[in-house]
Amino acid sequence: MKNPVFELKDIHFSYMPGGADVLAGLDLTLFEDERIAVTGPTGAGKTTLLQLMVGLLTPFSGTVNAFGRERVSEKDFREVRARTGFCFQNPDDQLFCATVLEDVAFGPLNLGKSRDEALAVSLETLDELGLENYENKVTYRLSGGEKRLVSLASVLSMRPDVLLLDEPSNGLDDYHSDKLIEILNSINKTIVIVSHNNAFNEKTCGNFLRLENGQAKPAISRGTGH
């Protein structure tokens, strides 16, 4: 039996105090090397779930265990974030540096790596994603697909144990979508993908969850949950 990396128990969350619960008693266990695709209607709390896992949001009740410990404070979650790469739905929210290289090196530098180490790991990550010669490109001039790959590189360069991807196939053409699938299948990490794209989910994940009425249920048939 593999170790659980994330264990969420009886999570309740709502954006407004007293408002309708987005998550109502959600339980989720993510094991090492597991790949889960989370689906569900819009507003079901898929992004909320990812944000709760890295402590960007705090649940009203329930516990979040990550990497073998209960995580409560901001300080606890800093360690979680260092080991969890979170790729946002919109790459423009994530990429803010002038050049691709600087953006990819931003995480490693924050983790205390020296300039040379950070540059080395960033160039290596760009190579792995087939983004050679992208290092001096200006981030805001990239196409949507390129931005997506660079934003993935910017979290992979932190060498995380777990990857959380929010709608990674959004706005990707077939070429970039296939490339992303190929990359995700080549890396050996625990992955949670939140996506509506069933074809994408089936090609990248082994387990499927459906968020409905604030709870996560195993999806019976792949992707759709019906």
Work out the angle between the directed axes of helices 174-186 and 144-156 (0-180°, nearest 10). Answer: 10
By the rule CB under 8 A, 81 interacts with another protein: yes
Collapsing DSSP states into helix, strand and coil, what is residue 149?
helix
72 binds another protein (CB under 8 A): no
Amino acid at 69: R
Q: How many other β-carbons are positioned within 10 Å of the β-carbon of residue 24?
A: 16
**Residue 118: CB partners within 8 Å, gap ≥ 6?**
105, 108, 109, 157
Interaction mask 163-182, another protein, x per CB under 8 A: --------------------
Instruction: Provide the mask over 32-51, with x wherever binding to another protein is found by CB under 8 A and - wherever it is not.
Output: -------------------x
107 belongs to the binding site for another protein (CB under 8 A): yes
Residue in 6, 13, 106, 200 binding another protein, rule: CB under 8 A = 106
Place of tokens 């896992």: 53
Looking at residues 138 to 167 of the shown chain, list those that interact with another protein (rule: CB under 8 A). 140-141, 154-155, 158
136 versus 185: smaller Cβ distance to another protein: 136
| 100 is a site residue for another protein (CB under 8 A) | no
Q: Residues 10, 25: contact at Cβ < 8 Å? A: yes
Say whether residue 105 binds another protein (CB under 8 A).
yes
Give whichever of 158 and 172 is closer to another protein, judged by the CB atom. Answer: 158
* DSSP three-state, residue 84: strand
